[in-house]
Amino acid sequence: MKKKTLVLTENFPPLSGGSGRWFWELYSRLPNDEYLIVADDTLPDNQFDKSHSINVIRIPLNSNEWGVKSWTGLKFYFRCLIKLIKIIKQHKITHIHAGRVIHEGVTAYLLKFFTGVDYLCYVHGEDVETAATSGEYNLMVKQVCKRAAVLICNSENSANIVKRLGYAKDDKIRVLNPGVDTSKFVPAKEDLQFKSKMGWENKKVILTVGRLQQRKGHDKMIAALPQVLKEHPDTLYAIVGRGECLIELQSFINKLNLNKHVQLLDEISDEIMIKCYQQCDLFILPNRTIGNDIEGFGMVLVEAQACAKPVIAGDSGGTKETMIINETGVIIDCTDPKSIAGQINSMFQHPKELISMGAKGRSHVENELTWQAHVKKSQQIFEQP
pLDDT, tens digit (0-9, with 9 covering 90-100), for 108-167: 999 999 999 999 999 998 889 888 889 999 999 999 999 999 999 999 999 999 999 999
Nearest Cα residue to 87 out of 115, 61, 106? 115
Is the per-residue pLDDT at 375 higher than 80?
A: yes
| CA proximity to 261, closest of 209, 296, 226, 307 | 226
Task: Tell me what pLDDT residue 1 has.
Answer: 67
Q: What confidence tens digit (pLDDT) does each residue in 310-341 have?
A: 999 999 889 999 999 999 999 999 999 999 99
Which of 86, 126, 121, 20 lies closest to 381, judged by CA?
121
Backbone phi, psi, residue 24, to 5°:
-60, -50
Q: Where residue 45 falls among pLDDT bands split at 50, 70, 90?
A: low
Q: Note the pLDDT of residue 83.
A: 97
Angle (CA) 55-59-63 rounded to 5° is 140
Measured CA to CA, the distance from residue 151 to residue 167 in angstroms comes to 10
| CATH classification for the domain delimited by 192-368, as one of 3.40.50.2000, 3.90.226.10, 3.40.640.10, 3.40.50.300 | 3.40.50.2000
The pLDDT score that the predictor gives to residue 77 is 96
Q: Do domains 5-179+370-382 and 192-368 have the same CATH topology?
A: yes
* Statement: residue 276 has pLDDT above 70: yes
In this structure, CATH architecture of domain 5-179+370-382: 3-Layer(aba) Sandwich (3.40)
Number of helices (H) and strands (E), helices first, in the chain?
Answer: 14, 13
Largest pairwise CA distance in the chain = 67
Backbone angles phi, psi at 330, to 5 degrees: -130, 150
The residue ranges of every structural domain in the chain are 5-179+370-382, 192-368
pLDDT at 295: 86
**CA dist., res. 285 & res. 215, Å (int):** 10
Can you give the pLDDT at residue 246?
94
Residue 46 has pLDDT above 80, yes or no: no
Cα 156 to Cα 161, 223, 250, distances in angstroms: 9, 31, 35
